[in-house]
Amino acid sequence: MSGADLKAILNQGGRIFGTMISVNRNPRWIPIMDGVGLDYVIIDTEHNPRSRGELGDYLAMFATTGVVPIVRIPIPDAHYVTMTIDAGAQGILAPYCETVDQVREVVKAAKFRPLKGAAAETALQTGAFPSDASRDYLEARNKDNICIIGIESQAAVDNLDAILDVPGIDAIFVGPNDMSISLGVPDAYGTEIYQSTVKGIIDKCEARSIPTLVHHQTPELSEYWIEQGARFVLHGTDRRAMAEGFRTEFTRLRDKAGSL
């Protein structure tokens, strides 16, 4: 599986499934993720103290699996986009984007690297490149790159139409914690304002054939948002999977031992 494969599935109206790597930093864990139902993972570098060298080693190991690695960068900045893709990521998630300028910077870096400056801006605005050879080269070099834009606040929702006008966006990410806080209902995911806001994002994006990720931690919440139209399914974290796995099995063992 490659980034291009994931985009093809989504472009055909299909769904893909993945999780967030929030605490795991040792590359020896990565082969375990192959063959468990994951199409992709998002490796967090926004809230995880992962160094550039550690990220490079981690991404190198993912190249031995069929799971596509996407990295959540710390901020929506072109430097972090190109640094991450150069290290081996097949996509980026730019968190907490609120303006068109932020999104344009991220898209140019994800889709046209290493083209920069005025030439990259012209390519984004008009589709014109320095030459046909440059266009072919850049399309081939960046064909796997998935560009995900984080919509995580009321301000971002207010600007969503203009943000979606930027070409080259492959998906929109909703961060429930940040979004719910911005809406005034921290972590209250069953409230009408939260549900209607996120549903509005999904519907607006789907009208433009752009899939949405809504990152929740319980199967019930993830299933709910699949039912509401989320196709780029992002569920749980490595932290939660390990904790729930141990909790479930050791609760069972303790119950069994207590019944003897």
Do residues 103 and 97 lie in contact, with contact meaning Cβ atoms separated by under 8 Å? yes
For residue 119, what pLDDT is reported? 96
CATH number for the 3-258 domain, one of 3.30.70.360, 3.40.50.150, 3.40.1160.10, 3.20.20.60?
3.20.20.60
For residue 115, what pLDDT is reported? 96
Q: How far apart are CA 146 and CA 61, in angstroms?
A: 19
For residue 118, what pLDDT is reported? 96
Q: How far apart are CA 247 and CA 98, in angstroms?
A: 39
For residue 154, what pLDDT is reported? 97
For residue 35, what pLDDT is reported? 87
Instruction: List, for the chain, all residue ranges whose pLDDT scores fall below the cut of 50.
Output: none
Task: Look at residues 10, 14, 21 and name the one whose alpha carbon lies nearest to residue 67.
Answer: 21
Q: How far apart are CA 72 and CA 204, in angstroms?
A: 23
